[in-house]
């Protein structure tokens, strides 16, 4: 089972739409708490892709063997680096820290040199 969605460059309004689509798709497939974590993490990854790469993104989610996997592909080769924010940063810079803290697994895969990357996370269990 899988869903996928394309997001145009700088279309930050689409972040909320993706979050709602994921919530709806997970409604009867996943525990509420796992779905809420997935919504938060997809929001962070899509926002990062749109803000830090200045290009569009492809988002996909799949369920298999009691595991949810969400992937966000962008078309920039630069790998994301976790950032440790200071008190002066406000809410900026916490996206990858949240992914590290809440996902059961996460990583970055290079698609092809010069052709982008996929930042992904997985959540175990939690399936309805």
Residue 84: what pLDDT?
67
Q: Average of pLDDT values for 18-47?
A: 91
Residue 18: what pLDDT?
93
**Each residue's pLDDT tens digit, 41-68:** 999 999 989 888 878 899 999 998 889 9
- Position with higher pLDDT, 8 vs 54: 8
Query: The sheet that has 67-74: what strands, in order across it?
Result: 2-7, 57-64, 67-74, 117-124, 105-110
In this prediction the pTM is 0.86
CATH architecture of 2-124: 2-Layer Sandwich (3.30)
Element (H, E) at 14: helix 13-26
List the domain boundaries for the chain.
2-124
Residue 104 carries which DSSP code?
S
């Amino acid at each position: 089972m899988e869903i996928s969605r394309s997001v145009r460059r700088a279309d930050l309004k689409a972040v909320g739409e993706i979050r709602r689509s994921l919530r709806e798709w997970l409604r009867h497939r996943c525990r509420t708490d796992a779905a809420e974590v997935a919504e938060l993490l997809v929001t962070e990854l899509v926002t990062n892709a749109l803000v830090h790469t200045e290009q569009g993104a492809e988002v996909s989610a799949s369920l298999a063997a009691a595991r949810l996997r969400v992937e966000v592909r962008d078309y920039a080769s630069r790998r994301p680096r976790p950032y440790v924010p200071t008190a002066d940063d406000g809410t900026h810079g916490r996206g990858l820290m949240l992914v590290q803290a809440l996902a059961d697994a996460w990583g970055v895969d290079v698609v092809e040199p010069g052709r982008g990357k996929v930042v992904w996370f997985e959540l175990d269990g939690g399936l309805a």
